Amino acid sequence: MKLTLFTDYSMRVLLYLAARPDHLCSIAEVAMAYRISQNHLMKVVNDLARSGYIESVRGRGGGIRLGKAPEEINIGKLVRHTEGGFDLVDCASCVIAPACSLTGVLKEALCAFLAVLDRYSLADLMDKRRDMGLLLAGTASSQRPADDVRA
C-alpha cells in the first residue's frame, strides 16, 4: 500500500507545526524545510485549514499553526481524511470476484493498517521534538524553496 503525496505532505506540515508550537509559520518556510513545492503545499494547507487541523492567520505577520493540540490529532483519522479511497484492487469487473476471497483478505489487512494508525496521535510522533526541530531548522536555513522540486 502506498499513501498519496497529499497525505505525505499533510503529515509533514503537521509535524513541522507541532515542532514549533509557539511560532506562526509560512508555507514558504515549510516548503523550504522539506524541499518540496510551495504550490503543492498551498493545496494541502488549504485542506488542513478547512478541516480544522491547522489555523491560518491572514495579514502581515500571519501564517499557519496547529488548530488542535497534537494529542487531539489522530493519525488514522487524518489518513482517512486525506486519502480519497482505500480500494486496494478493483474487483468490480473481475470475472472471478464471486468466488474469490482476495477482497475480504485485503479488507482485513486495510482494517489492521488503519487500526495501528488509530493508536497514535501527532503528539506520539513528536517524542523527539527537539531533534526534529534542529533537523528542520538546518534544512530551512540552507535551502531555498523551489516550486518544481518534488519529495
**What is the tens place of the pLDDT at every residue in 106-139?**
889 999 999 999 999 999 998 766 666 666 666 5
38 or 148: whose pLDDT is higher?
A: 38
Residue 68 contacts residue 37 (beta carbons within 8 Å): no
Query: CA dist 81 to 57, 77, 96, 105, 125, Å?
Result: 23, 6, 32, 23, 18
Please report, for the chain, the start and end positions of each structural domain, with discontinuous segments joined by +. 5-86+121-142
pTM score, two decimals? Answer: 0.82
Residue 79 contacts residue 3 (beta carbons within 8 Å): yes
What's the mean pLDDT in 89-111? Answer: 87
Cα separation of 53 and 69, whole Å? 9
CATH topology of domain 5-86+121-142: Arc Repressor Mutant, subunit A (1.10.10)
CA angle 19, 25, 26 (to 5 degrees): 140
How do residues 44-59 score in pLDDT, each as one tens digit?
Answer: 999 999 999 999 999 8
137 or 90: whose pLDDT is higher?
A: 90
